[in-house]
Structure 1
Amino acid sequence: MTQNVDHLIEKQLNSETIYEGKFITLTVQTVELPNGKQATREVIQHPGAVTVLAITAEDKILLVNQFRKATNRTLLETPAGKLEPGEDPLTSAKRELEEETGYQAAQWKHLSSFYTSPGFADELMHSYVATDLTLLKQNLDEDEFLDVLHVTADEAEAMVLDGRIADAKTVALVYWWLRERQREGK
């Protein structure tokens, strides 16, 4: 379905950088709304990220348990990470899978690319499925501490339903996996 949405576009009139960090920039923008009035938008600019649904030969997925300061709790997540400047998303996905879990995959499939929080951030996340895994060696960044779990479909679904998996990208990938397994008759 193609639809003309030009009448919804907000015209940027002004942009001021408030904060520039290692991988995010916060800007405050003045925009002209479709009705001609002005509004302020606070926008986090992010280089983009990847996430990987890694499926083992035993039909389990790899999750990482990692403390996230922004939520002040440990979250179960699919392996993920930010893109380096100019980096191809698949290259990043391969790197993140190996760094965080110690696995390499022979087969890769791009699932989708989606905005994580478009109300205030431009982060575009690229999701992949990785199969035909080989265990090598985990190679965490020096500021990264996490545990790797191998989770069955039933366990993953229960974890989503009872809130142990509360990370949106992971919820989306778990449900994609459950749907695909159902289509395959598993």
Structure 2
Amino acid sequence: MSMNDEVLFEGEHLQFRRRLGWEYVEHRTAKESVMIVASTDEGRLVLVDEMRPAVDARVVCLPAGLVGDEGPEDRERAARRELAEETGYEAAQVELLGRGPGSPGMSSEIVNFYRARGVRLAGAQGDREREEIRVHIVSPEELPAWTRNREAEGILIDPKVWAGLFLSGSRP
């Protein structure tokens, strides 16, 4: 928080702030997030969809979550943890692809894109019931038609899916 920041409101998870006349939000417990472009040995992608109250719709996205929201951890550990919690998959290899602001006009959050290779189902999803997360395994070739079908069902597609695929070189 800068000396010029004014806290407008503090919720359980977010702070609403103003700096230089600009209003934005910041996570109270974490400043960064991870998004994971996960693929099986066969090259199939691991995606999730979940209900997002802010847009009043289910949203297809990459497995993702906050870094250090429950205590100190590095980004790679957060990527591995979130992949396992949201999907039940574990990765043989994880590497940073790139990072940057996810929505710089309204949030201070920095998004870290990771590639996870050689993912295998290792157990049950951790927060599946609470977050109502559905896991999808889709080949890159099927992805354009698959996403069109989801949109026809009223499900939104997070554009960061496409950004992550671009960064990883896994273009459909």
TM range (shorter): 0.7 to 0.9
- Structure 2 vs 1, CA of residues 147 and 63 (structure 1 numbering), >3 Å: closer, same or farther? same
CA deviation after TM superposition for structure 1 residue 80, in Å: 0.4
Within the candidate set 14, 17, 26, 1:45 is matched to 26
Q: Report the counterpart of residue 124 of structure 1 in structure 2.
A: 110
Tell me the secondary structure at the aligned position of residue 70 of structure 1.
Answer: helix
Q: 1:145, 1:84 → 2: CA distance?
A: 22
- Alpha-carbon deviation of 1:87? 2.5
User: Unaligned 5+ residue runs, structure 2?
Assistant: none
Contact residue 34 and residue 78 of structure 2 kept, 8 A: yes
Partner of 2:5: 15
* Other-structure match for 1:166: 157
Cα–Cα, structure 1 residues 181 and 75, in superposed 2: closer, same or farther, change >3 Å? closer
The structure having more radius of gyration, on CA atoms, is 1
Matches within 5 A, 1:83-98: 83-85=67-69, 86-98=72-84
CA distance in 2, matches of 1:174, 1:128: 10
Shift of 1:53: 0.6
Q: Is the 8 A contact 1:157 1:174 kept in 2?
A: no
2:118 partner SS:
strand
The structural deviation recorded for 1:72 is 0.7
The amino acid of 1:45's aligned partner reads E
One-letter amino acid matched to 1:66: E
Correspondent of 1:65 among 49, 54, 57: 49
TM-score w.r.t. structure 1 length?
Answer: 0.77
User: Which 4+ runs in 1 deviate beyond 4 A?
Assistant: 159-163
- Report the aligned-residue RMSD: 2.3
Q: 1:181: Cα distance to partner?
A: 6.1
Is residue 2:15 matched to residue 1:25? yes
1:9 aligned partner: none
The size of the alignment, in residue pairs, is 161
Secondary structure of 2:131's aligned partner:
coil
User: What is the SS of the residue equivalent to 2:84?
Assistant: helix
- Counterpart of 2:77 in 1: which secondary structure? helix
Letter of the 1:44 partner, please give it. V
The one-character-per-residue Cα deviations of 1:76-121 (angstroms, maximum 9, x if unpaired) are: 1110011224431111110000011111111111100110111121
Higher RCO by CA contacts (8 Å cutoff, separation 6 or greater)? 2
The residue number in structure 2 matching 1:157 is 144
SS of match in other structure, 1:154: coil
C-alpha separation in 1, matches of 2:140 and 2:36: 16
How do 1:107-118 and structure 2 match up within 5 A? 107-118=93-104
Q: Shift of residue 168 of structure 1?
A: 2.1
Deviation of the 1:174 alpha carbon = 2.6
SS at match of 2:98: strand
% identical aligned pairs: 31
Q: Secondary structure at the match of 1:140?
A: coil
Structure 2 SS opposite 1:64: strand
